[in-house]
Structure 1
Amino acid sequence: MARDKNKRAEQEARRDELLKEVSDIGRPDAYVLHEVIRLEGDEELRRNGLALFLSAFAAGLSIALSLIVPGVLRSHLPEADWAKIVSSMGYAVGFLVVVLGRQQLFTENTITPVLPLLHDRSAKTAFRVVRLWLIVLCGNILGTLAIATVMAHSGAFEPPVLKAFAEISHDAIANEFWATFVKAVFAGWMIALMVWFLPATASAAPFVILLMTWLVSLCSLAHIVAGSVEAFYLVVTGAATMNDYALKFFLPTLLGNTFGGAALVGVLNYGQVAPEVEETKAVEGERPD
């Protein structure tokens, strides 16, 4: 136990040192970015399960702003081609709250825990990654179901806004399995790239989040958490069934987001720094405990 605490303290100190380096040099190299994200991922893998779940549940509630804000904007805008461009910007609000508030979002975790796994390819680390994914995904989905139910039946929103919610949400289950899968790959790729950029753009983090998530919305891509609010809204209002949610949205989107984040960003970006990582591991392995 004491050894684990000492290791965690060393990792936190190393992460702080790297973050300072990022701040000082402005444009860090790929290895520095990799190490910052890897250490953050390693810290996430060691977090208490209940704390992870509560943070993930909170993220599921907060991400509803990515439907609420566009819905309110849409209900007040005229029918015009430019209206979607404006209302889509509201999609970023939920992500701004979740990411800047350090709440657990599944698509962020398709990259941060993957780097520790690539660094330490052991059964123990793989188990920790799967544990993290399951806890965060369950918390996110339950949070989205709860908030979608409240949005639909609480009477908090006027009929024009509810109509806008339904119109926006229809896109979540409008496509067949493979079309949704491909949309989800692109979304997972873009969100994971956003996570990769953030350590190098700390002062511009809100702008990076706004830009990347606005593009996800504008391109009508599929995001497992934000999209679950939309799909569950249709389910709880009777416009769709749980079978629609599971087969038309959840399964293809989960697979696509995971592949887009873990494979296209995590593994490929790891590849460019792999020689330096292996060299560092070899040097550290020669040091006494």
Structure 2
Amino acid sequence: MSDETELRRNSENKHSESNDSQSNKMAREVEDLSQPKSRIVYEAIKQAGQEELTRPTPSLLWSGIAAGILISFSVLGEAILRTYLPDAPYSYLIENIGYSLGFMLVILGRMQLFTENTITTVLPLIEDFKKKNMFCMAKLWSIVLTANVIGAFLITALYVFTPALPEDVAPAMLSLSEHAVFMPPLDSFYKAIPAGILIAAIVWMIPQSESSAFMIILVLTWLIAAGDFTHIVAGSVEMAYLMWLGKLGLMDATFGFFLPVFLGNVVGGTLIFSFLVWGQVKNEIE
């Protein structure tokens, strides 16, 4: 009798273990299918930021110059579509798809774009606010932004001083550049805030949706153009283009366009988006 009882207990234990194993397996499968938690995305971006802060200066410089060159295809793509699309109410929405091209090249190509760093390198500083971290972030920002602007001036020199830019496209390129750069400075500042938020949102979304990265970049950067928002690096291409043509002076470029847009992008990407993200996860990581 005791043997039968023992066998029954063993059978029940095995059945229970089997159920536990199946439950654990199902839990793992559900976890695999679910989106990563916010704190996991936060940690991934923070780690990427920490790695960026330790990269050698030459690597940052060349990557930043490449980004400044490649982002010009946002302005060029939009200009080409504006040139050849029919004059119709819907053309505005279609031509702004061209604005996404440069961002796709830069972001998917892992180049150093200044506005991405308004969240990536800020998260380590928010969590561990030290003078050393602040200095490292300021150094990286200055190197990357300077490199982006150098790249913008290099590629626009090609467009202005050689036949690289098709003659049919040049008027649209000029029109787009004048519209962006000659905007009142206060308008440029406020319009730069949503652009900073949207670029930071791209950085936040891609780690949890890598398979959809193309569409995320396409839609959100299209929205920057369609919403007539201002972006410091793409805008630097337009600024440099006008300066090479002799239509914009250094003082007007710096104080009328560059600084307001720079500050607006930082407010949007850092003061708004990064701190909202930090507020969302701080109680989970402490």
TM-score when normalising by structure 2: 0.87
Q: Tell me, in whole angstroms, the C-alpha distance in 1 between the residues paired with 2:77 and 2:34.
A: 34
Distance in 1 between the 2:83 and 2:172 partners? 6
* Matched AA of 1:192: A
Taking the aligned partners of 1:102 and 1:257, their CA distance within structure 2 comes to: 20
In the alignment, the residues of structure 2 paired with residue 274 and residue 31 of structure 1 have an alpha-carbon distance, to the nearest angstrom, of 8
Segments of structure 2 that go 5 or more residues without pairing to the other structure are: 1-28
Residue in 1 aligned with 2:244? 236
Q: Are 2:153 and 1:151 aligned? A: no
Aligned equivalent of 2:224, options 208, 216, 221: 216
Provide Cα deviations, 1:203-247, integer angstroms capped at 9, x if missing partner.
000000000000000111110000110111111112222222112
- The equivalent residue for 2:137 is 129
Distance in 2, matches of 1:80 and 1:132, equals: 44
Cα offset for 1:154?
1.0
Write out per-residue CA displacement over residues 50-99 of structure 1, whole angstroms, 9 at most, x where no aligned residue: 10010000000000000111111111112222111111001001000000
The match for 2:125 is 117
Larger radius of gyration: 2
Between 1:189-198 and 1:79-88, the stretch displaced more is: 79-88
2:111 pairs, out of 79, 86, 103, with 103
Output the amino acid matched with 2:189: F
Contact 2:181–2:235 (8 Å) recurs in 1: no
CA contact (8 A) 1:53 1:135 kept: yes
CA 1:40–1:193: 2 relative to 1, 3 Å: same
Q: Give TM-score, length-normalised by structure 1.
A: 0.86
Whole-Å separation in 2 of the counterparts to 1:271 and 1:235: 42
Shift of 1:25: 3.9
Shift of 1:199: 0.6
Partner residue in 2 for 1:138: 146
Following superposition, the deviation at residue 174 of structure 1 comes to 2.6
1:258 aligns with 2:277: no
List gaps (5 residues or longer) in structure 1.
1-20, 279-289
What is the letter of the counterpart of residue 213 of structure 2?
A
